[in-house]
Amino acid sequence: MTGFLDNVLTGLALGAVYALVALGFVTIFKASGVLNFAHGSLLLLGGYLTAILHDDLGFAGALAVAVLVTAAVAGAMDRLLLQRGEQDPRTAHVQTIVTIGVDIVLVTDLARRIGGDLLSLGDPWGDAVTSLGPLTVADSRLAAIAVSALAIAAAFALFRFTPWGLSLRAAAEDAEAAALMGVRLTRIRTVAWCLAGGLAALAAVFLAAFPAPGLERTTGQIALKAFPAAILGGMASPAGALAGSLLIGLTEALVAGYQTELHVLGEGFGDVAPYAVMVLVLLVRPTGLFAAKGATRV
Amino acid sequence: MPEAPPDEGPALHVEDVDVVYGRALSALRSVSLTVPHGGVVTLLGANGAGKTTLLRAVSGTLRLHRGAITAGRIRYGGTVLDGRDPVAAVRAGVVQVPEGRRVFAGLTVDENLRSGGLGLGRRAPAQVREARERVFSLFPRLAERTHQAAGLLSGGEQQMLAIGRALMAAPRLLLLDEPSLGLAPQMVYRIAEVVREINAQGTAVLLVEQNAGMALSLADHAHVLEVGEVRLAGPADELARTDAVRRLYLGEETGPETSSGTGRGAA
């Protein structure tokens, strides 16, 4: 039983971090119709900045700078590379391909800088553990859950209660009608990219923290697991991204926890499990868990 | 009652405007019209005549359709509107209700109304409350459904919401693109009453309609667009008496040689 609870807690921590990534991914898609394949490299950029700055600025200062710079890079990428020329939703697929190019450039440069090293991010939790009754939990996991929950709650509050959030949701429903109400589409979507970049930088901290050995050049590939989370959540739904991420995190942790019992499925099934879950969910609900509901276009 | 006499306050002037889509397709040629302060002007014409294009040119949304104004001027009061973005039009007091209602289906009625004020930035709560009360007094049914998703409203209610959303920006000129489209006759009558009431409160209206009978009964002035050019223009009651308009847009037979098949289908 403690083994099970242990796995559930690990799964929640993983899921919470995936949610930071998936939420950004979904926000970008909602705001611009673009699938951001550079999301993993933004995450890696955030982690790398925290790693090289924490000696001088301390962990909190380094993280703050990393979040801001990554947000700015994401926003600049949208403004300077993607929103060129005509404002036309039909070019979203072209912009998606541009993000693949940006990803290659960013990852190549960061991989060259990181090399084969494992970078410490200087986080305050180290390998400390806390006992919760029969359970022993790494502090970094508890911090992942707490910080992610706060960041996600803040993001949802932005969607729900601010003029920017209302503009974003209105523009996602009908960009032209939103424009007629005086919503500045270009500004709304650039802010969405900044938010997503900031969340990715924050996620990097927990993906590199204990029990992971540190930041590697491949850490950005974690974003690949947030893709199925976003897709099975319904692609344009922040709530769906959250649910999908928790589902993926729990699946991964439980499959890893019981891998001796599941050995018929072969070694390393934990890595495949998120995609298996995605395929199963899409078989039952082809539009994802939280696809747009009640939307009747006249 | 109009708040100001018709000759005071800003008027919309469209002067010799040409619009081209995709650098090749000419949609409007040398179109001019004026909507005086507090007036109601209607624009009639068949599908594809350029009515919606003219509204897009005024509201600044041509760019979303790869269109551009290549000649002419559009001014509202002292503000130049041609070549500007939609925010400029909204801030100047010119707000468009798009064809087909286009409410934000997944958002609640309340959120739809709030979205109408987004172009004006931060406003005093008293102003927002005043705008809401105006909308709810025009459309009491919306007040009962503030938390309902807009997509679940009936077609007529959605049209009311679309108009109410635009009124939240406290416009001085309302651009209405086919508000009667797809509505039951009862609802068309109701919408016409609402337009009359909005105008009586001091808001000018530029009305694009297929329902020429309704439009001509509401308007002071009318223009008939044909393939991108103004064919006829004049006081609405005079235009309603001309043979061409009666035949093509009101579906009336004007002589023994006219076949009844050329009726409403052309409008």
- Residue B212, pLDDT score: 87
Interface contact B114-A174, CB threshold 8 A: no
Residue B228 sits at the vertex; the CA angle it makes with B227 and B229, to the nearest 5 degrees, is 100
| Phi and psi angles of residue B5, each rounded to the nearest 5 degrees, phi first | -60, 150
- Do residues A287 and A244 touch, judged by C-beta distance below 8 A? no
- Residue A263, pLDDT score: 74
Using a pLDDT cut of 70, give the percent of chain A over it: 95
- Provide the domain count of chain A: 1
Measured between alpha carbons, how far is A273 from B194 in angstroms, rounded to an integer?
A: 58
Taking the Cβ of residue A261 and every Cβ of chain B, the question of whether any pair is shorter than 8 Å is answered with no
pLDDT per residue as tens, chain B (267 positions): 444 444 567 899 999 999 999 888 999 999 999 999 999 999 998 888 999 999 999 999 998 888 999 999 999 998 999 989 999 999 999 999 999 999 999 999 999 999 999 988 888 888 899 999 999 999 999 999 999 999 999 999 999 999 999 999 999 999 999 999 889 999 999 999 999 999 999 999 999 988 888 899 999 999 999 999 999 899 998 888 887 777 777 766 655 444 444 434 333
A138: its two tokens: 């790494």
- Do residues B69 and B57 touch, judged by C-beta distance below 8 A? yes
Report DSSP letters for A201-267, one per residue: HHHHHHHHSTTS-SB-TTGGGGHHHHHHHHHHHTSS-HHHHHHHHHHHHHHHHHHHHTTTTTGGG-T
Taking the Cβ of residue A239 and every Cβ of chain B, the question of whether any pair is shorter than 8 Å is answered with no
Measured between CB atoms, which of B61, B149, B151 is closest to A179?
A: B61
Taking the Cβ of residue A176 and every Cβ of chain B, the question of whether any pair is shorter than 8 Å is answered with yes
A55: its two tokens: 């000696």
Measured between alpha carbons, how far is B121 from B14 in angstroms, rounded to an integer?
A: 27
Measured between alpha carbons, how far is A122 from A159 in angstroms, rounded to an integer?
A: 32
- Asked if the structure places residue A240 within a domain, the reply is no
- Asked if the structure places residue A19 within a domain, the reply is yes
- Residue A91, pLDDT score: 82
- Asked if the structure places residue A260 within a domain, the reply is no
What is the extent of the structural domain holding A17? 2-220
- Do residues A55 and A122 touch, judged by C-beta distance below 8 A? yes
pLDDT in tens, B83-114: 899 999 999 999 999 999 999 999 999 999 99
User: What is the pTM (predicted TM-score) of this model?
Assistant: 0.88
- Do residues A242 and A229 touch, judged by C-beta distance below 8 A? no
Q: How many CB pairs under 8 A join A and B?
A: 98
Measured between alpha carbons, how far is B73 from B16 in angstroms, rounded to an integer?
A: 7
B166: its two tokens: 């635009």
Report DSSP letters for A19-37, one per residue: HHHHHHHHHHHHHHS---T
- Asked if the structure places residue A207 within a domain, the reply is yes
- Residue A264, pLDDT score: 74
For residues A157-175, average pLDDT: 94
Interface with chain B: mutation pick from A88, A181, A290, A297, highest number of B CBs within 10 Å: A181
- Asked if the structure places residue A78 within a domain, the reply is yes
- Asked if the structure places residue A273 within a domain, the reply is no
Interface with chain A: mutation pick from B63, B115, B120, highest number of A CBs within 10 Å: B115
pLDDT in tens, B211-256: 888 899 999 999 999 999 999 899 998 888 887 777 777 766 655 4
Nearest CA in chain A to B163: A181
Interface with chain B: mutation pick from A162, A176, A180, A293, highest number of B CBs within 10 Å: A180
Interface predicted TM-score of the whole assembly (ipTM), two decimals: 0.87
Nearest CA in chain B to A163: B118
